[in-house]
Structure 1
Amino acid sequence: MIDSLLDVTVFTRVVTAGSLSAAARELGMSLPVVSKRLARLEDRLGVRLVNRTTRRLNLTEEGAEFHERCVRLLGEIDEAEERVRSRKRGASGLLKVTATAAFARRQLGWLIPRFLERYPDIRVQLDVSDTVIDLVQTGHDVAIRFGTLPDSSLIAKRLAPNHRVVCGSPGYFTRRGRPKRPADLKDHACIAFGSPPNQDWQFEGRGGETMTVRVSGPLVTNNGEVAHEWALEGGGLVLKSLWDVGPDLDAGRLEVALPGYRVPAAPIHAIYPHTRGIAAKVKVFVEFLGEELRAAYRSVLHDAEL
């Protein structure tokens, strides 16, 4: 059993490293040993898991399915070991986090210092990017993302709801008028942002009906903060989260465009790889963010209702 588990570990490391030689270096094994263990695993399963050439390594269909299950299995083993270890030591070490620019500035900017007051033995490295990155390749412990998680090889922990609105500046509405229904957005300048930019805006009517509108406009960016600034300057309508535009709505710098229609929420998630298990530093950080963000959202929604 233990020997079989080592074969599985070698297989997953080969996939992650991209080649047998790279996996051999990471595992501290010789290339022939890695090759032999991979071949033995394939023989035992009776299928080819990897197509190997001199330059490339590609998973077969069976290999991709088997790899996904192996990642989950090894992640559960790592998690079990980490839970035992964490009982004997407090949360500590370097925590590498990635988040979008807007969320990092408006939320993590005040939350992380508060988190470190509670856990002084943890150090945080926050990398800001609006591009979705590969956590395994970059070595990040946690990513903050929104909406549905398509990658089943990652763990998603829901932190808080993420209510959104379409809004624009008073100056924009003076020049272009106000849309009365989502379909009217086709005649408006809508600011799309993201990687790739989101141009399919979804709405729910008061009767429960749903609709999707393909929007367009002269302004597109991969950065949410730039899109926010363009909206403030009257460049168009933007679909943004309440935690981001709430202060501007309260101050009158922005106004809701379609108050009779609700935009489906895109919940905030903490994302972390199966392969690292749940280290103590990750566990306490995710729990802390969930507590603080849910409390902050209750406040934001109360203010919005007022």
Structure 2
Amino acid sequence: MDTIDAMRVFVAVVERNGFSAAADALDISTAAVTRQIAALEKRLSTRLLNRTTRRVSPTSTGAAYYQRCVQLLAEFDELEASVGAQALQPSGRLRINAPVSYGIARLGALLPAYSARYPQVELDLQLSDRLVDMVEEGYDLAIRIIRQPAPNLIARHLGQVHIRLCAAPSYLARRGTPTTPQDLATHECLAYTYSADGEALQLLGPEGEVSIPVQPHLRANNGEVLREAAIAGMGIIAQPDFIIDQALADGRLMPVLPQWEVPPIGIYAVYTSRSHLAPKVRSFIDYLVECLDEDADRSA
């Protein structure tokens, strides 16, 4: 027996002075009303209704129970309505994981407008370049720059990252400028620890795709560290546009093999399940799509 349903039936019987009238009001059979009342009285071990051939009325215990039922049902309905309304509005703590450099270069500037639009969402952004376990570490959403998202995650494509080769003018003056991808094998290269390509550079250019084995002179798990080392003349880097664009623009870095680049890598918002996707998660993903589309339009 569902106690809430039984309480609703009992209230209907009292307010309509009969089983048949209550059944009509609730759009159920009279037999169903009878069963619910009998089960409720059995559960409470007391008689709630006086039954005669003419009318049904509450006992003294039933009258007191009726008053409490009316109050409790009203509170229950109010609670459900409140929870339902909250469920439709983005709210609560949103835990996001994102790569360090991308978070600094792109996400930081986007958060204020999202927060103004959805003030009930508490943003918790954690930056890390390792692939976190979203379930174990309690993340609602992760931003990943990766060629292929993990099959156990739901992914929404947000855009692409272009990765280009560059080096400081001082390095190129000292070691010379490569003219072919194969020249890179003899140069000092600075490698990103979490690169999916390992000890090789996959390049896409006029001759298609080539793989160049390199022996990194430095490995680091952060692109900004590699950029600064390259600016200091340590070697050649292959880094995303959001890390190197400013250094290229102001001449601290120079393009290397500009007709070649690492095949573009996707930017994805990933989460663990499509079922009952929280409004706070959906709203943030939609907001990112909106902002990144605007950025793409401006750069086109």
For normalisation by structure 1, the TM-score amounts to 0.66
Which string of whole-angstrom CA distances, capped at 9 and with x for unpartnered residues, describes residues 261-296 of structure 1?
Answer: 232100111111127642111111111112212322
Go from structure 1 to structure 2 and tell me whether the alpha carbon gap of 1:117 and 1:160 turns closer, same or farther (over 3 Å shift). Answer: same
Q: Specify the SS of the correspondent of 2:147.
A: coil
Closer, same or farther in 2 for the Cα pair 1:203/1:95, shift >3 Å? same
Q: CA–CA distance in 2 between the matches of 1:158 and 1:180?
A: 34
Deviations 1:9-35 (A, max 9, x none): xxxxxxxxxxxxxxxxxxxxxxxxxxx
SS of structure 2 residue aligned to 1:230: helix
Matched residues in 2 for 1:129 and 1:157: separation? Answer: 20
Separation of aligned partners in 1, 2:107 and 2:280 = 16
Structure 2 unmatched ranges of 5 or more:
1-82
SS at match of 2:249: helix
Q: Does 1:103 align with 2:91?
A: no
Equivalent in the alignment of 1:179: 178
SS in 2 for 1:110: helix
State the distance in 1 between where 2:119 and 2:91 align: 8
Q: What are the Cα deviations for residues 2-55 of structure 1, in whole angstroms up to 9, with x where unaligned?
A: xxxxxxxxxxxxxxxxxxxxxxxxxxxxxxxxxxxxxxxxxxxxxxxxxxxxxx
Q: 1:193 touches 1:222 (CA, 8 Å); kept in 2?
A: yes
Look up the match of 1:72: none
**1:47-126 equivalences in 2 (<5 Å):** 89-126=88-125
The match for 2:46 is: none
Q: Is the Cα contact below 8 Å between 1:243 and 1:297 reproduced in 2? A: no
Q: 1:287 and 1:128 mapped to 2: Cα distance?
A: 20
Equivalents in 2 of 1:224, 1:278: separation in Å? 32
Is 1:248 the counterpart of 2:247? The answer is: yes
1:224: how far off? 1.9
Q: State the alpha-carbon separation in 2 of the partners of residues 299 and 172 from structure 1.
A: 33
- How far 1:98 moved relative to its partner? 0.8
CA contact (8 A) 2:164 2:239 kept: yes
Matching residue's letter, 2:124: Q
Q: Secondary structure at the match of 2:277?
A: coil
What is the root-mean-square deviation of aligned Cα atoms in Å? 2.2
Aligned match of 2:229 = 230
The question of whether the paired residues in 1 share the 8 Å contact of 2:199 and 2:216 is answered with no
Shift, 1:227, TM fit: 1.2
Are the equivalent residues in 2 in contact too, given 1:163–1:264 (CA < 8 A)?
yes
**For residues 144-293 of structure 1, what are the structure 2 equivalents within 5 Å?**
144-195=143-194, 198-207=198-207, 209-274=208-273, 277-293=276-292
> Is residue 190–residue 215 contact of structure 1 (8 Å, CA) maintained in 2?
yes
- Across the two proteins, how many residue pairs are aligned to each other? 217
Q: Tell me how far apart the structure 2 counterparts of residues 242 and 294 of structure 1 sit (CA, whole Å).
A: 17
Query: Is the 8 Å Cα contact of residues 161 and 297 (structure 1) preserved in structure 2?
Result: no
Return the alpha-carbon distance in structure 1 between the equivalents of residues 85 and 269 of structure 2.
Answer: 20
Structure 1 stretches of 4+ with a deviation exceeding 4 A read 84-88
Change (3 A) 1:274 1:200: farther
Shift of 1:88: 5.7
User: Structure 1: which 5+ residue stretches go unaligned?
Assistant: 1-83
Assess, with a 3 A threshold, how the Cα gap between structure 1 residues 283 and 86 changes in structure 2: closer, same or farther. farther
| In structure 2, distance between residues paired with 1:156 and 1:86 | 27
Whichever residue aligns with residue 184 of structure 1, its letter is D
Structure with the larger RCO, 1 or 2 (CA within 8 Å, 6+ apart): 1
Alignment identity in percent?
Answer: 33
Question: In structure 2, what is the Cα distance between the partners aligned to 1:200 and 1:294?
Answer: 32
* Cα distance, 1:151 vs structure 2: 2.0
Q: Compute the displacement of 1:146 (Å).
A: 1.1
Q: Kindly state the Cα deviation for residue 182 of structure 1 after the two structures are TM-superposed.
A: 1.2
Is the CA contact 1:86–1:280 (under 8 Å) kept in the aligned structure 2? no
Whole-angstrom distance in 2 between the partners of 1:184 and 1:248: 23
Q: Are residue 140 (structure 1) and residue 122 (structure 2) matched?
A: no
- Any idea what SS the aligned residue of 2:226 has? helix
Compared CA separation, residues 276 and 137, structure 1 to 2 (3 A)? farther
TM-score by length of 2: 0.67
Please give the per-residue CA displacement for 1:41-82, whole angstroms capped at 9, x wherever unaligned.
xxxxxxxxxxxxxxxxxxxxxxxxxxxxxxxxxxxxxxxxxx
Shift of 1:135: 0.3
Q: Is the 8 A contact 1:101 1:225 kept in 2?
A: no
Q: Partner of 1:263: helix, strand, or coil?
A: strand
- The answer on whether the counterparts of 2:185 and 2:214 sit within 8 Å (CA) in structure 1 is yes
